[in-house]
Every structure is written in structure tokens, then in C-alpha cells.
Structure 1
Amino acid sequence: MKKDKVICKCYNITVKKIIKAVEGGVTDWKELKKELKIATDCKKCKEHAKGVFKDILEEYK
């Protein structure tokens, strides 16, 4: 997946921003939402964003 792909359009959250959050110690969905505000506005990206986050967590363990 391209690192510049936008996952959450409301807050312009890219794959790269999620990776940085994981590298910074984020380990669960609630933490990610709190840090990046991902999927907190229109919520259209929620399920896709959760899947991307899960994949990134597995890759960066």
C-alpha cells in the first residue's frame, strides 16, 4: 500500500501518518483515534481505516 494514500479524507490521514503513530507507540484503535482523530467525523472510513491499522500493526510489531 502506498504511504501517501489517504485513508481518512476528513482529517487527511495517510498510511504514513498511521505508520508514524504505530512507530511512536500507538497499539490500539482507541489510541489511534485519540491521536489522529481518524474516523471521528463522518466515519465513512472507519472499517477500512481499522483494517489498514491492523495490517500496519502486524507489519511493524
Structure 2
Amino acid sequence: MDKEQVVCRCTNVTIGDLVREIENGAKVFEDVQNTIKVGTRCKRCTMNVRDIFSKLIEL
């Protein structure tokens, strides 16, 4: 996965941001919603980012 790929345009969150949050202890999607606000504005990306987060957490 390209760590520079933006997954939430509203908050400019990248895959790399998700990886960092996981490294910092995020265990569930709601953790990253609370810390970096991904998928909290227009919410169009939420399902896609949730899927990406799930795949990353399994690695």
C-alpha cells in the first residue's frame, strides 16, 4: 500500500497516518476517528477507510 495515498480528503488523512496510529496503539477504527478525525466530516470515506484500517491492523 502507498503510505502517501490520501484516504480521507476532508481531513487529509493518508494510509501512513493510519499506520502511525496503529503503531501508537489504535486497536479499533473508532480510535483513529477520535484521534485524527478520519471519516468524521462528510463520512463518504468511512466504509473504505474502515476496510483499509482492518487490513492494516491484521498485518
- 1:12 — aligned with what? 12
**Distance between the aligned counterparts of 2:2 and 2:29, measured in 1?**
21
Matched residues, number:
59
**Distance between the aligned counterparts of 1:11 and 1:30, measured in 2?**
15
The normalised TM-score by structure 2 is: 0.97
The one-letter code matched in structure 1 to 2:26 is: V
The alignment-based identity, stated in percent, is 27
Deviation of residue 19 (structure 1)? Answer: 0.1
* 1:7 aligned counterpart, secondary structure: strand
**Distance between the aligned counterparts of 2:8 and 2:47, measured in 1?**
11
The one-letter code matched in structure 2 to 1:53 is: F
Q: Which runs of 5+ in 1 are unaligned?
A: none
Deviation of residue 16 (structure 1)? Answer: 0.2
- 2:26 — aligned with what? 26
Aligned-pair Cα RMSD in Å:
0.5
Q: Which runs of 5+ in 2 are unaligned?
A: none
The one-letter code matched in structure 2 to 1:52 is: I
